[in-house]
């Protein structure tokens, strides 16, 4: 029979409830029904940082697979299922995907390696209210009408900023997982900037501006690994390469411009995951024109790197600099190409003329665009627009590049158009050309405009695009962010969710995700 809760687990429950009140309603102590699972212990929020999770420990005579199903409020489509295989005889199964303030029904089945079902039972796990300062409303305005690229979204939430509280929301608008480090001895002021992501091993990964370190944690928020960045300060992005190393956007201690003033957010490093050593450094002051002021005139934050990713096709790194454009660089510290309006480019510290690295746009028929105003970025064509204050460059399976074109100061403010886009560019690095081949969002106008942050994600399994404007986007009851899934071929909106937050800052990123391994 299931053991009664230990004093330790009751203490964890009460700690959760002390910060999980809503409208001054006192939530009763969570209870768990008895179960015939032998020699078992069930703990809600075992780490103290993941209140919508639990951990079941039980014993059998051998190896097998534990299947955990958290039954959803909206039928099987809202169930969250995990399969955990271990060698036994002691089995530790995470229970992820619980609803807040709810008597959650959870089915647990253990199947031996020979295929025999050894045990099965349904538990009831009652949870407390959500922490304060999460979205005030999550509304699904376009329910899913077709198979989507996932039932869950990982939201790098900005509605609460001390500490930031990331969460997973399902397609019905219910939060099913979160990390709240309010009581953590180190991460109680977590500031993850671009946000949190999942590593290939299933753990969660983020950089913290407050402590200046990188962290890997499990689904309960328990620390798995930590990396220091001596001589650098983390900001924005930490990215896992295919070989397991990390690309990190950083400010370098003591960095100055040519006038001797300090600079920030203009270096990228590669960190060896095993040793923690910096194995490569890209100094964008040397590679780009730090004096270019066509978009902004801040000599300190002249570039503002907000994303970095690795391109295995040619062993290069692609960097998004919000105030300059998108640049591809090599491991030999050379510019490969620059995707940006042509206005204002000069030479870098090496004396290289950066105009030689600018991509030249093509029209829809593949002919060179020669209109000077289009090249400079002063005006647009129906079949081509440059990227403005972009975020989230993503390489598609066909080799094209998709990014979130925020549209801030579009055409240098010479036009009054206000919209953000997901835009796909086809780049020919041999002929140094770029062609716009797809876009979504322009037709939505100000309703999906986000002047900063935001995310675009291509979902190859369904040929869908996730378009996620995150800052001061209008909602039915205020401002926040939107998660919009679009069919790539038809551009039809298949799913849309709005998140209203008190501060208007919905999130930096939202990504389709799963829970568990």
Can you read off the two tokens belonging to residue 352? 């290289």
* pLDDT tens, the chain, 517 aa long: 333 333 233 333 323 333 333 333 333 333 334 446 877 899 999 999 999 999 999 998 889 999 999 999 999 999 999 999 999 789 999 999 999 999 999 999 999 999 999 999 999 999 999 999 999 999 999 988 889 999 999 999 999 999 999 999 999 999 999 999 999 999 999 999 999 999 999 999 999 999 999 999 999 999 999 999 999 999 999 999 999 999 999 999 999 999 999 999 999 999 999 999 999 999 999 999 999 999 999 999 999 999 999 999 999 999 999 999 999 999 999 999 999 999 999 999 999 999 999 999 999 999 999 999 999 999 999 999 999 999 999 999 999 999 999 999 999 999 989 999 999 999 999 999 999 999 999 999 999 999 999 999 999 999 999 999 999 999 999 999 999 999 999 999 999 999 999 999 999 999 999 998 6
- Taking the C-alpha atoms of residue 362 and residue 369, their distance in angstroms, rounded to an integer, is 5
Cα–Cα distance measured from residue 9 to residue 13, given in angstroms and rounded to the nearest whole number: 6
Nearest to 168 by CA among 135, 194, 200: 135
Residue burial 459-469, b: 16+ Cβ < 10 Å; e: rest: beebebbbbbb
- 299: how many CB neighbours lie within 10 A of its CB? 15
Residue 457 has a CB neighbour count (10 Å cut-off) of 22
Domain boundaries of the chain, sorted by first residue: 7-126
Residues 6+ apart with CB under 8 A from 266: 251, 252, 255, 283, 284, 285, 290, 302, 303, 305, 321
Where does residue 394 fall: left (phi above 0), alpha (psi -120 to 50 degrees), or beta otherwise? Answer: beta
Between strands 167-170 and 152-157, the pairing is antiparallel
Domain 7-126 has CATH 2.60.40.3100: yes
**Residue 128 and residue 17 in contact, taking contact as beta carbons nearer than 8 Å:** yes
The pair phi, psi for residue 169, each rounded to 5°, is -115, 140
| CB contact at 8 A, 468 and 507 | yes
Q: Are 192 and 198 in contact (CB under 8 A)?
A: no
């Amino acid at each position: 029979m299931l053991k009664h809760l230990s004093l330790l687990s009751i203490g964890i429950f009460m700690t959760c409830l002390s910060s999980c009140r809503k409208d001054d309603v006192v939530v009763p102590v969570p209870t768990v029904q008895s179960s015939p699972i032998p020699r078992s212990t069930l703990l809600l929020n075992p780490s103290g940082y993941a209140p919508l999770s639990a951990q079941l420990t039980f014993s059998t005579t051998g190896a097998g697979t534990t299947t955990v199903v958290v039954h959803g409020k909206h039928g099987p489509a809202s169930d969250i299922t995990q399969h955990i295989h271990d060698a036994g005889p002691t089995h530790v199964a995470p229970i992820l995907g619980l609803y807040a303030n709810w008597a959650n029904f959870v089915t647990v089945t253990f199947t031996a390696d020979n295929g025999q079902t050894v045990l099965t039972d349904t538990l009831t796990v009652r949870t407390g209210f959500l922490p304060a300062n999460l979205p005030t409303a999550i509304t699904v305005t376009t329910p899913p009408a077709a198979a989507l690229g996932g039932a869950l979204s990982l939201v790098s939430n900005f509605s609460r900023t001390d500490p930031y509280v990331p969460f997973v929301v399902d397609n019905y608008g219910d939060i099913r997982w979160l990390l709240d480090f309010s009581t953590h001895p180190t991460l109680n002021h977590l500031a993850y900037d671009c946000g949190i992501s999942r590593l290939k091993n299933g753990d969660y990964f983020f950089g913290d501006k407050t402590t200046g370190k990188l962290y890997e944690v499990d689904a309960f928020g328990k620390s798995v690994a930590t990396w220091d960045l001596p001589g650098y300060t983390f900001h924005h992005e930490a990215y896992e390469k295919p070989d397991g190393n990390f690309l990190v956007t950083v400010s370098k201690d003591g960095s100055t411009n040519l006038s001797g003033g300090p600079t920030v957010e203009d270096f990228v490093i590669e960190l060896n995951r095993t040793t923690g050593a910096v194995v490569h450094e890209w100094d964008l002051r040397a590679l780009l024109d730090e004096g270019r002021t066509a978009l902004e005139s801040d000599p300190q934050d002249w570039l503002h790197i907000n994303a970095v990713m690795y391109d295995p096709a040619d062993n290069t790194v692609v960097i998004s600099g919000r105030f300059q454009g998108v640049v591809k660089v090599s491991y030999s510290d050379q510019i490969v190409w620059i995707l940006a309006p042509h206005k204002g480019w000069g030479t870098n510290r090496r004396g290289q003329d950066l105009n030689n690295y600018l991509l030249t746009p093509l029209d829809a028929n593949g002919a060179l665009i020669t209109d000077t105003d289009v090249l400079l970025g002063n005006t647009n064509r129906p079949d081509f627009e440059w990227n403005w204050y972009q975020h989230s460059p993503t390489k598609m399976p066909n080799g094209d590049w998709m990014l979130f074109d925020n549209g801030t100061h579009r055409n240098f403010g010479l036009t009054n158009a206000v919209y953000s886009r997901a835009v796909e560019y086809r780049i020919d690095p041999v002929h140094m050309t770029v062609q716009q081949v797809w876009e979504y969002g322009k037709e939505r106008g100000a309703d999906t405009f986000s002047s900063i942050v935001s995310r675009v994600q291509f979902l190859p399994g369904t040929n869908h695009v996730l378009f996620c404007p995150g800052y001061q986007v209008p909602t039915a009851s205020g401002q926040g962010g939107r998660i919009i899934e679009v069919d790539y071929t038809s551009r039809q909106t298949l799913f849309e969710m709005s998140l209203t937050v008190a501060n208007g800052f919905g999130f930096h990123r939202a990504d389709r995700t799963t829970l568990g391994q």
